């Protein structure tokens, strides 16, 4: 699996949305998506709710936002990713302070990556 991050942008509502894509570059279906949901115990199902952002200078970790029913504001429905399949990725977080220009992005099973924030 390859995760490509295309954008991490603040919006006027005080949120930070990270967007990109997941791609199965193998010749077989990918079925090990459960770790991505983190400690998810509610109705989001198999998702990327386990993703976090860390503002090292601000010493703060940000978790994916939830709707009023407790579902993550992130990509869901990831039980099986077929060989060659590309799936849009998104996760929405509370926006760090405007002085924070980059954060560490962490999704279980992937290496941590530093991403620059726009907006």
Per-residue pLDDT of the chain (119 residues; tens, 9 = 90+): 999 999 999 998 999 999 999 999 999 999 999 889 877 666 667 899 999 999 999 999 999 999 888 889 999 988 899 999 999 999 999 999 999 999 999 999 999 999 999 97
Q: Domains of the chain (ranges plus CATH)?
A: 2-116 (2.60.40)
Work out the burial of residue 90: count CB atoms within 10 Å of its CB; fewer than 13 is exposed, 13-18 middle, 19 or more buried.
middle
Place of tokens 């279906």: 29
Strand 86-94, strand 15-23: pairing: antiparallel
Q: How far apart are CA 24 and CA 63, in angstroms?
A: 25
SS3 80: coil
- Find out whether 27 and 83 touch, Cβ atoms under 8 Å: yes
Q: Is the pTM of this model over 0.95?
A: no
């Amino acid at each position: 699996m390859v995760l490509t991050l295309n954008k991490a942008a603040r919006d006027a509502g005080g949120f930070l949305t990270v967007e990109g894509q997941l791609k199965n570059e193998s010749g077989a279906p990918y079925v090990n998506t459960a770790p991505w949901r983190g400690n998810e115990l509610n109705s989001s199902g198999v998702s990327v709710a386990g993703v976090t952002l860390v503002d090292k200078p601000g010493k703060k970790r940000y978790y994916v936002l939830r709707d009023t029913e407790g579902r993550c504001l992130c990509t869901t429905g990831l039980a099986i990713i077929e060989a060659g399949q590309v799936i849009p990725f998104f996760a929405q977080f509370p926006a760090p302070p405007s002085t924070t220009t980059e954060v560490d992005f962490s999704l279980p099973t992937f290496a941590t990556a530093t991403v620059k924030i726009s907006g």
